[in-house]
Amino acid sequence: MQLTIGARKSDLARIQAYMVGDALQKQFVKLNVSYVFSSSLGDQNQQDPLWKMPSQGVFTQDFRQKLLDGDVDMVVHSWKDLPTENDGSTMLAATLNRADPRDLLLIKKSVLKEVEQNSELRLLSSSPRRMHNLTGFLKRAMPGGVKRIRFEDVRGNIQTRLDKLLGGDAHGLVVAKAAIDRLLGAQDLSRRHDNFASSVKKIRHGIEQCQWMVLPVSCNPPAAAQGALVVEVASGRNDLVKLLAKINHLGTFEDVEAERKILKLYGGGCHQKIGVCVETRELGKIFALRGMTDAGENLDQFEVVRPGVDWSNIEENEICPPLKSGDFFVREPVLISEKSLAEMKKADALLLASSAIPQSYLRAIGDQLIWASGVKSWFEFAAQGIWVCGCDDNLGAGRARQIEHLWGGDINWLTLTHRDSPSFPSVATYVLKAKSTDFSPGSKKYFYWRSGSLFKRALELFPEIVNGVHSCGMGQTFDIIHEILGKNTPLYVFVNENQWKEMFKGMGAK
């Protein structure tokens, strides 16, 4: 069987087309695949920012016509470029596993002192979404903080944008991380298709001249469908639909469709100041929505979407405000040893919360990549002048951090934590010593736990709380409590304690 795949001419578009073609040929070894690459309206007009161009279809409409004319059998798009409306003449038939949907910030190393001294950051980005959502975040996430952030329009492919950054006056650039990851991971494709070696070398050179941040979904959700590719076919081509079903990643397809439906509620299009992300995990579906509608409505949600739980008949005195570590423990720093110092210096990357690092260890940090447990710790590190490359959004490490391409290889991670933590590999920077407590569960029945250590200590003092209704986040705390309670006892998951508190709004939770 002969099959023709269409796509744009850019390196990224060709890579994505080859990914689909290779996946199909792996399933159907006798399939012959050819490719047709051409420019779209959006490629031809490099002067106007996207938000000034037609709101939908500037990179995709030309290819839809090729499908209808029979020039190609299918077209591979970056899914975020497709309009949310469809006239029914074509259909979206398949996607592959989604790449990292987050945004990536690149700042030239040569301007870091200038940014700090002037407290001003000039960024290349034409996205109203990024302008709206990143301004407040970056003022606190940059080391030492910045007071003013200015955005300047930029167009072109990734290579062109990097050239404009490195050769221009702007300090930084915001791009879709998935584009960088796919381009840097194109070496294998180079052996079978086009030679992307020069592009890979150019992008690697650009990244090496920059400090980078992987921007958290909780504060900066991506554009709907960012990081996903999609295969479009003409309606009625059931033969192709059946073929593509063999490579379709259903989880990605469902998540992205959900994002697009949400964006459609607000009008769709790249002019919107709205980011949305749906990510299915084993413990639940993460949902993030942030931005401002055309009507001026502020959107700000970050939660785990779960089957409805009716807690409406709860009595106020049954709700226990989230307990703090200080209610049960005294935190004592562990003096830095030669062994600990050697382990830290050997590590490529350090994972930690701001509470886990005494001043002695803070001074020992060298050139390691710093990865925070959550946004709060990120801000606290930044206030001390530390560059943070990203965070787990307090969701644990259930999703790979996906920064190997940016780093340039495998990463030797080290967690800084307390002495009894099950994290491995790790260095103990403090010890939790049990103390007497004034807390008494009394009639409390509903609990949110910030850490597994806190739950274990409370259970040791008050065994009766085992019969309570327990909730926590999605990381290591869940694993610890779930193991203690057993699989037959419900353990409810929230992205953070704020979402848990929303369950009891107006019912006494502080």
Q: How many CA atoms, within 13 angstroms, populate the side-chain half-sphere of residue 175?
A: 25
On the question of pLDDT at 61 being above 90, the answer is no
Domain with 421 in it: 329-434
What is the H or E stretch that residue 364 is in?
helix 359-364
Q: How far is CA 293 from CA 264, 275, 409, 462, in A?
A: 12, 11, 40, 48
Alpha-carbon distances, residue 138 vs 123, 131, 213, 367 (angstroms)? 11, 11, 10, 22
**Count of CB atoms situated within 10 Å of the CB of 269:** 21
With a cut of 80, say whether residue 375 has pLDDT above it: yes
Beta-strand ranges (E) seen in 306-359 are 329-333, 349-352
374 and 448 share one domain: no
Q: Does residue 294 lie within any of the structural domains? A: no
pLDDT of residue 194: 75
Nearest-5° Cα angle at 272, 269 to 278: 80
Q: Domain for residue 287, yes or no?
A: no
Cβ atoms of residues 115 and 266 within 8 Å: no
The verdict on 270 and 392 lying in the same domain is: no
Answer yes or no: is 300 within a domain: no
Position 44 scores a pLDDT of 44
111 Cβ partners below 8 Å, 6+ apart? 171
Which two structure tokens, joined as six digits, stand for 454? 């806190």
440 and 360, same domain (yes or no): no
Lowest mean pLDDT among 33-47, 270-284, 486-500: 33-47
Residue 139's alpha-carbon distances to 136, 245, 261, 299, 429, in angstroms, are 5, 45, 31, 20, 29
The residue type at 492:
Y
Question: For the segment 475-485, what is each residue's pLDDT rounded down to a tens digit?
Answer: 899 999 999 99
Q: What is the structure's pLDDT at 188? A: 67
pLDDT tens digits, one per residue of 99-117: 999 999 999 999 999 999 9
CA distances from 433 to 8, 67, 324 (A): 61, 68, 14
Terminal Cα-to-Cα distance of the chain (whole angstroms): 65
Same-domain pairing of 319 and 237:
no
Our count of domains for the chain comes to: 4
CB 268 within 8 A of CB 56: yes
Residue 186 has pLDDT above 90, yes or no: no
Question: What percent of the chain has a predicted confidence (pLDDT) above 70?
Answer: 92
Identify whether 281 is part of a domain: no
CATH number at residue 59: 3.40.190.10
Please tell me whether residues 498 and 442 are part of one structural domain: yes
> Which region among 70-84, 178-192, 255-269, 383-397 has the lowest average model confidence (pLDDT)?
178-192
Residue 289 lies in a domain: no
- 439 and 429 inside one domain: no
Asked whether residue 509 is domain-assigned, the answer is: no
Residues 195, 153 within the same domain: yes
Identify whether residues 107 and 202 lie together within a single domain: yes
Does the residue 298 lie in any domain? no
- 323 shares its domain with 335: no
Final residue before a domain boundary, out of 390, 416, 434: 434
For residues 318 and 441, membership in a common domain is answered with yes
pLDDT at 50 over 80: no
Query: Contact at 8 Å (CB) between 481 and 471?
Result: no
pLDDT in tens, 205-228: 999 999 999 999 999 999 999 999
Per the listing, tokens 């002037």 go with: 118
Domain boundary among 410, 434, 458: 434
The mean per-residue pLDDT over the stretch 444-464 comes to 96
In a domain, 299, yes or no: no
At 507, the pLDDT band (50, 70, 90 cuts) reads low
pLDDT band per the 50, 70, 90 thresholds, residue 62: confident
Q: What is the pTM of this model?
A: 0.92
Residue 3 has pLDDT above 80, yes or no: yes
**Per-residue pLDDT, 308:** 64
Helix (H) or strand (E) holding 183: helix 177-184
Residue 286's DSSP bridge partners are: 279, 304
Task: Evaluate if residue 397 carries a pLDDT over 90.
Answer: no
CATH number at residue 362: 3.40.50.10090
Are 352 and 439 in a shared domain? no
Is the model's pLDDT at 300 over the cut of 80?
Answer: yes
Helices (H) and strands (E) in the chain, counts: 18, 22
- Residue 365's alpha-carbon distances to 2, 42, 245, 370, 407, in angstroms, are 57, 45, 49, 9, 18
Residues 311 and 447 in one domain: yes
- Joined together, the tokens standing for residue 496 give 């953070």
Q: Whole-angstrom Cα distance, residue 177 to residue 105?
A: 9
Give the residue-averaged pLDDT of 396-414.
88
Q: What pLDDT is attached to residue 51?
A: 44
CA distances from 259 to 116, 223, 502 (A): 37, 9, 23
Of 434, 469, 487, which marks where a domain is finished?
434
Nearest to 443 by CA among 319, 327, 331: 319
pLDDT band at 316 (very low <50, low <70, confident <90, very high): confident
Ramachandran bin of 47, using left for φ above 0, alpha for ψ from -120 to 50, beta for the remaining angles: alpha
Neighbours of 510 (CB within 10 A): 7
Backbone dihedral angles phi then psi of residue 174, each to the nearest 5 degrees: -115, 125
The pLDDT mean for the chain works out to 90
Determine which of 39-48, 294-303, 456-465 has the lowest per-residue pLDDT on average: 39-48
41-45, 119-123, 335-339: range with highest mean pLDDT: 119-123
